[in-house]
Structure 1
Amino acid sequence: MKIVEVKNEDKVIIDGFKFYGHIEENQFCSACKFNLVYYEDFDAYFCPKCNRWTESQCSDRDCKYCSNRPEKPLSHK
């Protein structure tokens, strides 16, 4: 897996997939200890190695972040 952070654009590229966000330097996955990544479109953190969100969706059906969040952060994998 290739992960690149473009800091001046606040973008992350994971295996060619680009999105707005950043790599967290001090937050790690509880399962594999990999750095967490913030995904701005969904206002949530995920582990790119485990391909799982680290927080559950909120209960608001009209939430602009959670209502469109895919089951897996890297749904192309």
Structure 2
Amino acid sequence: MKIEEKDDIVIIDGFEIDGFIDEKLCTICKVNLVYYEDFDAYFCPKCNCWTEKKCGDPDCLYCFKRPEKPLPHK
């Protein structure tokens, strides 16, 4: 898996997202978490899982459109 950050864009195996690579580590695999700006949430790029659940607000502009997995190609 290749991960790089350029000007507020994170590129993971060619897939680009708005966000940044954080210093926080995944509790499972110890890889740096990535902040995904479109969904206002952190995820682990190796485990391909969100680190937090969707909020319970039905009017939330982020959670309603958040996919089950952060990276579609994994």
TM-score, structure 2 normalization: 0.95
Cα-Cα RMSD = 0.7
Letter in 2 for 1:11: I
Residue ranges of structure 1 left out of the alignment (5+ in a row): none
SS in 2 for 1:67: helix
d(CA) in 1 for partners of 2:67 and 2:59?
15
d(CA) in 2 for partners of 1:21 and 1:53?
14
Residue 60 of structure 1: CA displacement?
A: 1.0
TM-score, structure 1 normalization: 0.92
d(CA) in 2 for partners of 1:16 and 1:62?
32
Residue from 17, 20, 23 that aligns with 2:21 = 23
Q: Identity of aligned pairs, percent?
A: 69
**Number of corresponding residues:** 74
After the TM superposition, list the runs of 4 or more consecutive aligned residues in structure 1 that deviate by more than 6 angstroms.
none
Name 1:70's counterpart in structure 2. 67
Residue ranges of structure 2 left out of the alignment (5+ in a row): none
Query: Quick check: 1:33 aligned with 2:41?
Result: no
Residue from 37, 42, 51 that aligns with 2:48 = 51
Q: Deviations over 1:12-34 (max 9, x none)?
A: 00011001000012x00011111
Residue 61 of structure 1: CA displacement?
A: 1.6
Residue 76 of structure 1: CA displacement?
A: 2.2
